[in-house]
Structure 1
Amino acid sequence: MTPGLVLLLALLSALTALATLGAPEARAAEGEPSVSLSKKEAGKGGEITVSGDGWRPETLLTLLICGEATPEQGVAGGTNSCANADGRAVTTDEKGAFSKKLPVAEPPKPCPCVVHVATVTGEQALADAEFAVAGHPTAPLPRRTGGGKLAVLATTRLEGDSSLLTWFGAPPARQLVLTVGNLGTDPVKDPVFAIGTAHGVYAPQWEERQWRGTVAPGGRAQVKLPVELSAGAHGDYQISLRYGKRVLAEQPWGVGRPWGVTLFWVLLCLVVPAAVFRTGMAVVDRVRPRPAGSAAHRRRRTKPPGTPERGPEPAGALPWFTPDSAPYRAPASAPHSAPNSPPDSAPLENRSTTKGQP
């Protein structure tokens, strides 16, 4: 063997050793998130320590004990199979690791059970670790169709329009429409989707929606799922569709502000003070004291029963007219004089002289 060939073989051996040493670190950095438990079995009321590695740095995670689940098949019934009230939250460090104590609680579904760890924000990632709850019932896993696989074949869209009630704060509602295809070998019957609604930087809130129908292997179907927000919702929302552990589609939704609610409060602030002011002025006008000779006081006096209604009082008697005396009649010598004209001084003197004679 020549010295050059020996040197070449030694160089190749050194390169192979360096590659072998660096491979585990690379796989650990690029591998999936992992979860480990301090105990594989514990009873209700106990406590275990959950540790993890390979997660995204500074990411919020949820820790749950779930029933009807295995690390291979995941949680069959979703979060409805988990003890959600006794779950815990933890944030990973800068290296993507965490360690958190979790109280042992009985899930609503029978075992086999797992400790389910999933991300809350950002890209979805999850991992399960097998765990046994001592004293909890055990049952076989529900039968699943293993060959069906759905995928979105067309762009998703939101159909529908807002009604007049939405302008006054009613919950906005739409229909998420998409076309899915079955890429597996078994039919998918009545698939259960999860619809998530996210507003701003908050994590999506997931709700399950079941679509009634069957998608044959290699076939396609149009799926329509109802989407509804909370009352008074407005702003920019992100609608996500998930099937199993995979997010199939995301659709933005801009919701207008319910200006009818604002208009209602503006009118309420204007009408109510005006009505209160008018009511208060009417009460003050009724209860304030009035002078005895005022017209309002006379109207408010009560009349004795049987008193006839009197007309308006005369402005005043004429100087030559006395209501108690007989009406004046003009003398015969003056037929053309006005009936109400006063007599001249001569007849008045003659009449007074005649009246004084014996």
Structure 2
Amino acid sequence: MRRAGAWLGALLLLIAAAPAGAQARAAPPPTAVVAPREARPGAPVTVTGAGWRPGALLTLLVCGQNMIGGTNACANADGRTVTAARDGTFRREIPAAAPPLPCPCVVHVATVTGAAAAADAALVVSGHPVKPLPAQPGGGRLSVLDARLAGSSGLLTWFGAPPRRRLVVTVGNPGSGPVRDPVFRLGTAHGVLAPSWEERPWHGTVDAGRKAEIPLGVELAAGAYGDYTVSLEYGGRVLVEQPWDVPRPWGVTLFRVLLCVVVPLGLFRAGLAVVDRVRPRTPAAAPPSEEKAGDPLPWFRPGTVDEKRRTG
């Protein structure tokens, strides 16, 4: 009877959780809207958004060429930040700054921390040059559906070994042709410093309308700690910016503290041993005799009075 009740309870939980999971999967992507949609350089425009994660920190940038070149195509100095409200909405004023690349221009909104999410809103910057977008060879292109850093730090990392993670990216191909053997650029940046990039080829094919999971290894220098950002670029466009909080290697600090204590103590003991070895030795004093000559009270010792009485 108890087993049947347990099975019934588990079935009810699964039924109750199924609609919630379906709603989570069906959640619409975040959006961003600019008003007015055309402004002269430097004029303020208002950006509103909905569907963002509550409390998420967002960056707003005006970018040229539809941000195909990543943040290098954006007016980064004139960017703004905003925090999403509890209902996932935001409202922020931003200057329509002239980006370093020609239009078509967009206001790019992206999350700074947590799960990666982004949205673009078209913006016309009056008087700014306009050029056609570069052609996409082969008709295939990649977009990120999900990204995460997998792995954890071990005991050796606690003692200063290089921190390692795997950037697992799920990409889709919304283009008209396949993408074969794409070459990504993986970058790591510490704090506000510029990322250092390295090429990472992936051998495989993502057909049109299909998706694939791509794992890429990430390794930092030995003893690294602090706030890092892992970026993934493909086709001149930054696809992912994933934060990575690397803990401090406290084992190295503990080793240094012990070194500062043990080495001076060892030197002190070695110095004592050297001093004890080189100092002159004094001859050992002879043991005192039982009865010294000229003792003022020779009778004031145990047994002396009794012996005199017996001999007296």
Normalised TM-score (structure 1): 0.46
| Residues 141 and 240 of structure 1: CA distance in aligned 2, closer, same or farther (over 3 Å) | closer
1:128 equivalent to 2:120? Answer yes
| Residues 144 and 253 of structure 1: CA distance in aligned 2, closer, same or farther (over 3 Å) | same
Alpha-carbon distance in 1 for matches of 2:117, 2:263: 55
How far is the alpha carbon of 1:206 from its aligned partner? 8.2
| Residues 80 and 58 of structure 1: CA distance in aligned 2, closer, same or farther (over 3 Å) | same
Does the Cα contact within 8 Å between 1:182 and 1:188 map onto a contact in 2?
no
How far is the alpha carbon of 1:271 from its aligned partner? 4.5
| Residues 84 and 221 of structure 1: CA distance in aligned 2, closer, same or farther (over 3 Å) | same
How far is the alpha carbon of 1:111 from its aligned partner? 1.7
Write the mapping of 1:1-358 to structure 2, written as runs, cut at 5 A. 31-69=28-66, 75-145=67-137, 146-148=139-141, 169=160, 171-172=162-163, 185-188=177-180, 190-192=182-184, 209-212=198-201, 215-216=204-205, 225-229=216-220, 232-233=223-224, 257=249, 259-268=251-260, 271=263
Normalised TM-score (structure 2): 0.52
- Residue 138 of structure 1 aligns to a residue whose secondary structure is coil
Alpha-carbon distance in 2 for matches of 1:222, 1:53: 28
Larger-gyration structure (1/2)? 1
CA RMSD of aligned residues (A): 5.4
| Residues 274 and 94 of structure 1: CA distance in aligned 2, closer, same or farther (over 3 Å) | same
RCO comparison, higher one (Cα < 8 Å, 6+): 2
Alpha-carbon distance in 2 for matches of 1:138, 1:64: 18
How far is the alpha carbon of 1:246 from its aligned partner? 7.3
| Residues 45 and 173 of structure 1: CA distance in aligned 2, closer, same or farther (over 3 Å) | same
Unaligned runs of 5+ in 1: 1-25, 70-74, 280-358
Aligned length: 230
How far is the alpha carbon of 1:133 from its aligned partner? 2.8
Deviation string 1:285-322 (CA, Å, 9 cap, x unpaired) is xxxxxxxxxxxxxxxxxxxxxxxxxxxxxxxxxxxxxx
Alpha-carbon distance in 1 for matches of 2:126, 2:164: 45
Q: What letter matches 2:95 in structure 1?
A: P
| Residues 103 and 171 of structure 1: CA distance in aligned 2, closer, same or farther (over 3 Å) | farther
Q: What letter matches 1:211 in structure 2?
A: R
Does the Cα contact within 8 Å between 1:58 and 1:92 map onto a contact in 2?
yes
Deviation string 1:153-192 (CA, Å, 9 cap, x unpaired) is xxx987xx999xx776475356769999989732335432
Alpha-carbon distance in 2 for matches of 1:118, 1:150: 15
Percent of paired sites with the same residue: 41
| Residues 232 and 66 of structure 1: CA distance in aligned 2, closer, same or farther (over 3 Å) | same
How far is the alpha carbon of 1:100 from its aligned partner? 0.9
How far is the alpha carbon of 1:127 from its aligned partner? 1.6
